[in-house]
Chain A
Amino acid sequence: MQKLKYRVVRAGAAGGVVPMHLAFIDRSDVIKAGISNEKACQLVGAQFTDGVAINVIDLDAITVTSDGIIADGAVVAFASADRGKINPNFGFLNVSEIPYTQQLMDEEPHMKQWDTDYYRGKRLYRGPSAEDRVHRSSHNENMTITGRIASNNTGSEVMNLIEMTEILTPIFGQLQLVRDGAVLIGKTGPEMSVGIGMVVRERRGRIFGWNYGAGMTAHRSGKYAKTVKCEDYSIVAEKSLLAEYTIRALEAGLVPGLHLGCSPVTLSIAKAMGLPIGLDNITDDAWIELESVGITKESLQKPSTPLSREEVIARADEILPGIEDGKRYLASDICDICYVDCL
């Protein structure tokens, strides 16, 4: 009988800070099993007597982080399961492919990365389409809900609605788990709390849509933005890996605050490399949030010796802000590899 492989970070992993089960299915394993993404999520969900969030990840596709950096891997479906079931109306969301069009490339300057050698020709997945979102109203976020488990922002923010716990799983961290790499797990902290609001304007974004563009803050919460996820834990990629992908975007000529979100990470790397920053395009609201974590226009304008990409990657832990008391784990330390029969 055909078996479906999946990975699971179990509740209580990483010293007890992971509050619920997180399962990841490689899309290529779904194809091998000859089943749909939804069926794959149902099979995996049925293996758990309590709640689990499930993401199907295509490692051959690309997606985009909230601050506009392309990642080489994408969530192509996600689900919430509880007591072995997935709610038929709200428990599963497919994420349809977004085709390459000249209109998209003209409207969304950060997508220039798609034309680089790293990503040219790869399939793009970001947020669900209107057809994918069936049953949801316009106010609903890209969220699946079954029983106690809600998975929001296209599978990157998972909650237990009864225990009221939460964990963030930004895409680069998820990809490391599926690729058997290494992750950092720690408190999200103030810089990342600010950074997740510094977005790019996208039609069908994973999290945000067209309302806020580069240089703006979608949080618009002033000095309080830094507290939004501060105490929740996150599973993220090691900073050297995040630096690599951010540098790829900067080397494509994209400017934080102008084409990319003005997150503390994009700004810190551009500053370290002596690359342009769209200082005049960053809004007053965004500056308030950045200044609350010590990033000021003056600090970004202060003369410094530019570092090479290799130097930034080597010193990424020092240069890239975010994550408090992060501990490094190999995926194999916290992830079980499991198989389920494809009935």
Chain B
Amino acid sequence: MHTKLPDFYQKVTDAAKKRNADTKLEIRGMENFRAAKLASLRVGRVEDEIMEITEDPNVEKVEVIIMPRVPETDHSVIIKGIYKDGTCKKAILESMLVTSAGEDIELEGVEIIDDRRYKLP
């Protein structure tokens, strides 16, 4: 079962504010996705983990950041020529490898890093 992207945002928001409605929230990393389905079991785990993070009364803000786990990602580039009427006669597909900084850049100075991700093969 998979969760709709808007439902994911809502569930994350609800979890962050469940203990304290004033808790600030920032969600980053899914901006390029207009529509997506997210593994529901993982969404549930994230909801629980947000609750766990907000157990600490000193937490004023929760950041939820989603990024590729493999920091060199394989993308398609789709180049389309659009006519006046909005139709497209020709498109070209190209490959693009994107190398970006991984989770390390978000973890500087963090005292406890509890890695609950499944192990990579």
Contact = CB atoms under 8 A, between A and B. Distances in A.
B112 interface: no
Contact of A87 (B72, B74, B97, B102): B102
A145 B99 contact: yes
A141 interface: yes
Which among B69, B99, B101, B120 has the highest number of chain A CB atoms within 10 Å?
Answer: B101
Nearest to A86: B104
A135 B108 CA distance: 23
Nearest to A160: B101
Interface string B97-121: 1011110110010000000000011
Interface string A143-154: 101111010100
A90 B102 contact: yes
Given A83-B108, A89-B120, A135-B120, A161 B101 contact: yes
A77 to B, nearest CB: 19
Interface residues of A, number: 23
Q: Is the interface of B mostly helix, strand, loop or mixed?
A: loop
B6 interface: no
Interface in A125-145: 134-137, 139-141, 143, 145
Interface in B69-106: 69-72, 74, 97, 99-102, 104-105
Contacts of B105: 82, 147-148, 162
A141 B71 CA distance: 11
A226 interface: no
A141 B101 CA distance: 15
A135 B70 CA distance: 8
Contact of A90 (B70, B74, B97, B121): B70
A41 interface: no
A331 interface: no
B61 to A, nearest CB: 22
Contacts of B104: 82-83, 85, 87, 146-147
Nearest to B105: A147
Contact of A145 (B71, B97, B108): B71
Contacts of A288: none
Given A83-B108, A90-B70, A137-B74, A150 B99 contact: yes
B74 A147 contact: no
5 contacts: A87-B102, A87-B104, A135-B121, A139-B74, A152-B99
Given A90-B102, A137-B74, 19 more contacts: A82-B104, A83-B104, A85-B104, A89-B69, A134-B120, A134-B121, A135-B120, A136-B70, A136-B72, A139-B97, A143-B72, A145-B71, A145-B72, A146-B104, A147-B104, A148-B101, A148-B105, A150-B99, A161-B99
Top 8 closest pairs, chain A to chain B, by CB: A147-B104, A139-B74, A161-B101, A145-B71, A135-B120, A140-B72, A147-B105, A150-B99
